[in-house]
Amino acid sequence: MAVEEKVIVIDFGGQYNQLVARRVRECNVYCEIYSYRTPIEQIKEMNPKGIILTGGPNSCYEEGAPTYTKELFELGIPVLGLCYGAQLMMHVLGGKVEKAPVREYGKTNTCIDGSKEALFAGIEDETVVWMSHFDYISKVAPGFEIIAHTADCPVAAAACEDRKLYAIQFHPEVLHTVRGKEILHNFVRGICQTAGTWRMDSFVENTIADIREKVGDGKVLLALSGGVDSSVLAALLAKAIGKQLTCVFVDHGLLRKNEGDEVEGVFGPNGNFDINFIRVNAAERYYAKLKGVEEPERKRKIIGEEFIRVFEEEAKKIGTVDFLAQGTIYPDVVESGLGGESVVIKSHHNVGGLPDYVDFKEIIEPLRLLFKDEVRKAGLELGLPEYLVYRQPFPGPGLGIRIIGEVTAEKVRIVQDADFIYREELANAGLAKLPDQYFAALSNMRSVGVMGDERTYDYAVVLRAVETIDFMTAEASEIPFEVLQRVMSRIINEVKGVNRVMYDLTSKPPGTVELE
């Protein structure tokens, strides 16, 4: 899809690179992430309205540290450097960066010294920002003036207004910087003079038109998992090409309670979309493959490989298709090393290689420009029900990794029922949207209990609820004790095979969000 105006983020290995881009898009301006290795000629061709340099783990004055050519700051395009990006700007343009006498980490009181007409328009004289640096700018580059400082950082921000170059030592993209959104808005909309026309209704309309033009009278095949990304993609394709789309939904029996029927209810014969929908109920096949397998990574591989086999069988029945659709979204692109510098390869996502088991001519990925929150907005624009659009992140292997040890039909039933009760009670308490992710998992621990006048020897269910911004780190949610008590009581009374319920308080790190 053609984009009239955009701001680009140049990534120097910062952990918040995607968050910076998301904050720009919240200003209704399209944004993409590129590695610092991107040639200057390519950046010129993109003709961005503004450029943002991210943080990074290096010291810009050390040999071999990530850098960029001085020409970047001579293009006449506004540039905003954040943390390492600010230090690099000063270093390249003739300032000085050194080890800080006092390192700053966390929330820091900051005094605004400069004009309130540009970057800090509308910001109080004192505000709280998020610092994370061990180097500092000891001398600003020629032409710059200091526009903010802290007790320990003489250059918390500097600006060269004539050239529209700005360097800020703190991170405006994180929520801990109290007026961070406003500062980024001032740069993106004010200094860069963008119109702010990037909106989801226009994205949906334009993408539907692009799909129709590209597909023509061709046929499209989609593996529909029932997750948010594939469901929004299915709805988008359905609106664009209708019966030219075939969705294959492989129900591996490891979904949450009732989810398979919910997916069929939306996309099946009696659903909202006029497409070809194939549901393959493959639960018994998966249970057989997983029999006796306890190691989490092996379970992942078996579930993934079996999905390929089932999908391949159905695809062969369909025959040749013109396009294979994939629910790739922008974080997948970035984390595959195709969009930025901070590479975190996901072993299961679908960027970087085309399946060789389906007879198709070309691949299409209409959502590859979008972050997850934007995918959800697109889903609502397309008329998908809220319960599907706001479905929480769910691992590809499903309950297979929320069951510790061997996966059996009996264990799946236990965790489905326990999870259903947990979700229902949080909803009844008005807490359904407070934790960013919550679920019940089944431990492989069995213990003695007493129920009625009989001793039992049953499983322990583990409840998990976390709060997070980006799922890179997470803290356990403080669910009210009376709610946990109700959940515990219902699970033990209603779910056969459980006599103990525990709540997991582990943060990430050292733990993960999932229990596997």
| Ordered DSSP codes for 415-430 | HHHHHHHHHHHHHHTT
Residue with the bigger pLDDT between 470 and 221: it is 221
The full 3-state SS of 236-298, as one line of letters, equals HHHHHHHHHEEEEEEECCCCCCCHHHHHHHHHCCCCCCCCEEEEEECHHHHHHHHCCCCCHHH
Q: How confident is the model at residue 346 (pLDDT cuts 50, 70, 90)?
A: very low
Distance CA 488, CA 434 (A): 19
pTM of the model: 0.77
Distance CA 35, CA 56 (A): 12
3-class secondary structure, 400:
helix
User: What integer pLDDT is reported at residue 337 of this predicted model?
Assistant: 57
User: What integer pLDDT is reported at residue 350 of this predicted model?
Assistant: 44
Distance CA 194, CA 173 (A): 19
CB 22 within 8 A of CB 5: no
User: What integer pLDDT is reported at residue 306 of this predicted model?
Assistant: 93
User: What integer pLDDT is reported at residue 138 of this predicted model?
Assistant: 94
pLDDT in tens, 442-490: 998 888 776 665 667 789 999 999 987 666 678 999 999 999 999 999 9
pLDDT at 348 over 50: no
User: What integer pLDDT is reported at residue 1 of this predicted model?
Assistant: 54
* Mean pLDDT estimate for the chain: 89
Tell me the mean pLDDT in the region 392-408. 90
User: What integer pLDDT is reported at residue 125 of this predicted model?
Assistant: 93
pLDDT in tens, 265-275: 999 999 989 99
Number of residues in the chain: 516
Tell me the mean pLDDT in the region 50-59. 94
pLDDT at 341 over 70: no
User: What integer pLDDT is reported at residue 343 of this predicted model?
Assistant: 41
Lowest-pLDDT range of 33-47, 164-178, 434-448, 458-472: 458-472
Q: Which amino acid makes up residue 157?
A: A
Tell me the mean pLDDT in the region 12-34. 90
Residues with a known catalytic role: 83, 171, 173
String of DSSP letters for 103-162: EEEEEEEEEE-S-TTTTTTT--SEEEEEEEEEEEEEEPPTT-EEEEE-SS-S-SEEEEGG
User: What integer pLDDT is reported at residue 460 of this predicted model?
Assistant: 95
- Which residues, in sequence order, are bridge partners of residue 251? 281
